Structure 1
Amino acid sequence: MKNMYFVVNLLSGKAVMNKKLGNIIDSFVKDGFKVTVHTTQNGDDASEQAAYACENGYDVLVAAGGDGTLSHCLHGVMGCENRITIGYIPAGTTNDFAKGIGIPSDQLRAAAIISKGETALCDVGGFNDTYFSYVSAFGAFTNIPYETPQRIKNMFGHAAYIADGATQLTSIIKAKPLRIEYEDIVIEGEFVYGMITNTASVAGMISMNNFLLDDGVFEVTLIRKPRNPAEIGMTLLALAKNDMTDKNIVFFRTDAVTITCLSDEPFTWTKDGEYGGMEKVNHLCCHKKAVRFIVSGKERLPLEMNRK
């Protein structure tokens, strides 16, 4: 019998776990797991509980909640010498990471995949002295996920993000001078947005092509300051279509990048849709194949072993 530590955020998304938790636990027990359940009490709780699971002999850690809940659990696991396997039951508003590893949005189906136990080693992003699962971002619109109240997200889902984003479009999008350093390349200029990703989608709206979950690099997308409102629209449309040839988009892949704000007031960052700080100098790196996740099937995942 395998020991499972089950960390659950009952407030994520439309609080769907409140209705399904009993059935999910019952399915795990029927499949031979000894289940210990912990419901999160605050923002740091998931991280602390994940570390507890690693340090106390559990075989698998299951996180049920949104991308933020998973991100906190991942932070706890990465800080331990014994990094146990992570299973994920998506119950948030966008569930971007789940899409990337082929986990269905239906919680009972996701639980069934965990019971099958097929795993794959995946990359983990490093952000200064913390970690992220699929995206760190700064600039225009990145404050929407964590500033939009949870009750509004639960009521309106993606519409809450879109409405808030439309409001921001009507205001001045602020650009800041940045220095971008990776490998032997240095880029300087004024930018309004940037994201460092390892995912199939961001905020449920921006799709990323040709990424791999375990290649040791992530995708960096930066948007230069547009000259006029028309350019803003064209650049956003290109980004939505994953067209990185737009003149205002800088795109590259790397295993490490340093982004320095050259003004007195730095951008606010987000990590996996939650607040990530306001440091002037930010170091990001990719920890290759750092954590083992339970996935839907290796043959369908963007992994190095599947590249032809």
Structure 2
Amino acid sequence: MRLLILVNPNASGGEEAMPRLKERFDSEPDAELVAVETPDEMLNALDERGPEADRIVLGGGDGTISSMLPKLLKLKKPLGVLPLGTANDFARTLSLPEDPIEAVEVAIGPRTHLIDVGMVNDHPFINVASVGVASKVSELQSKDLKRSFRVLSYAMSFREAIRDAKPFSVSMTLDDHNHWRGMVHQVSVGNGRFHGGGLVVAEDAAIDDGKLHIYVVRPGTFLDLAASVASLKFGLGGERETLKRRAAETVRLTTSRPRHINIDGDIRSTTPAEFSVARRALEVAIPSELPPHQRGLVDVDESRASEESEV
């Protein structure tokens, strides 16, 4: 199997992982390990080397993988993931090991699975696309903050952003018939299960269920909003006055004026927004044996898993 491994050394865990990865792949004649420091370099490497590879392995954070989605969807090659970023929510959804070398064995292993990809205004995403406070959170996420506080950096930035946030009016239509209008601090539309360093989009959210899971953070007291964040952090079900959840296959969202859309941690579009699901659009490597209580994947053939684990 011809492997193309592209690693972002500027990711939170990239610099530390590179020597270990070089040692791991030195004896693999069909593996090409390339350090790529910018998105343009990674895109160029995918253009030049991707078509000849049997599998592509990307080492970096969620933003690295998300920014490569348009190219990956065109190449139609199985994807392996090395979680080297700050939050690694995509890896968490797939139940990937945190250790880079353990993640390598999954990334090049025998088991793959087709997952959904979210779409917003023709931009693909893997985790979540959000309007509102999340855009300010993205601005507050400095490299130093991410490196120093890692998964806690999102919660810290969220608390700072929402303190001075002003609610705004949104109108949503779910599946062309369910309409909702109201004042909000944030609307998040999830394709995966996790975002923001482990926040759970919805109790039943999975990245292969063919649905978008939506949550709305509405105005309230600081304590109410803190309780809503706690519900997201611990994956608690039900609703609160300040936290509403829905699920749909399509979402149409409008605001009184154009607002930034945070797509997997980066600002890439503005409202109005059209969301949809590209069903089973991306083939990814997953562990041969999934943890018994994982909930990021639901449409998995368990008999195939047991067969592969015996190989």
The two structures share one fold, judged by TM-score above 0.5: yes
**Letter aligned with residue 34 of structure 1:** D
Report whether the alignment pairs 1:113 with 2:106: yes
* Rounded Cα–Cα distance in structure 1 between residues aligned with 2:223 and 2:267: 30
Identity %: 18
* Rounded Cα–Cα distance in structure 2 between residues aligned with 1:3 and 1:146: 39
Report whether the alignment pairs 1:271 with 2:258: no
2:79 — aligned with what? 86
Match of 1:223 among 209, 217, 221: 217
Matched-pair contact (CA < 8 Å) for 1:124–1:286? yes
**Letter aligned with residue 237 of structure 2:** D
CA RMSD of aligned residues (A): 2.4
1:295 — aligned with what? 286
- Following superposition, the deviation at residue 198 of structure 1 comes to 2.9
Aligned partner of residue 71 in structure 1, secondary structure? helix
2:306 — aligned with what? none
TM-score by length of 2: 0.85
Question: Pairwise mapping of residues 108-257 of structure 1 onto structure 2 (< 5 A)?
Answer: 108-171=101-164, 173-183=165-175, 184-207=177-200, 208-226=202-220, 228-241=221-234, 242-257=236-251
* Rounded Cα–Cα distance in structure 1 between residues aligned with 2:120 and 2:44: 19
Match of 1:281 among 241, 252, 272: 272
For structure 1, list consecutive stretches of 5 or more residues without a partner in the other structure.
none
Question: Pairwise mapping of residues 22-33 of structure 1 onto structure 2 (< 5 A)?
Answer: 22-28=19-25, 30=27, 32=28
- Following superposition, the deviation at residue 142 of structure 1 comes to 4.1
* Rounded Cα–Cα distance in structure 2 between residues aligned with 1:83 and 1:274: 24
For structure 2, list consecutive stretches of 5 or more residues without a partner in the other structure.
303-311
Question: Relative to structure 1, is the Cα distance of residues 298 and 128 closer, same or farther in structure 2, using a 3 angstrom cutoff?
Answer: farther
* Rounded Cα–Cα distance in structure 2 between residues aligned with 1:118 and 1:101: 12
* Deviates further, 140-149 or 268-277: 140-149
Deviations 1:123-176 (A, max 9, x none): 1111212111111112124432454221331123234334333333432x2211
Question: Relative to structure 1, is the Cα distance of residues 205 and 39 closer, same or farther in structure 2, using a 3 angstrom cutoff?
Answer: same
**Letter aligned with residue 6 of structure 2:** V
**Matched length:** 295
Runs ≥4 residues deviating over 6 A: none
Deviations 1:250-304 (A, max 9, x none): 211112111111x22x332211112223x22111111111010001136546222
* Rounded Cα–Cα distance in structure 1 between residues aligned with 2:146 and 2:264: 16
**Letter aligned with residue 212 of structure 1:** A
* Rounded Cα–Cα distance in structure 2 between residues aligned with 1:86 and 1:147: 30
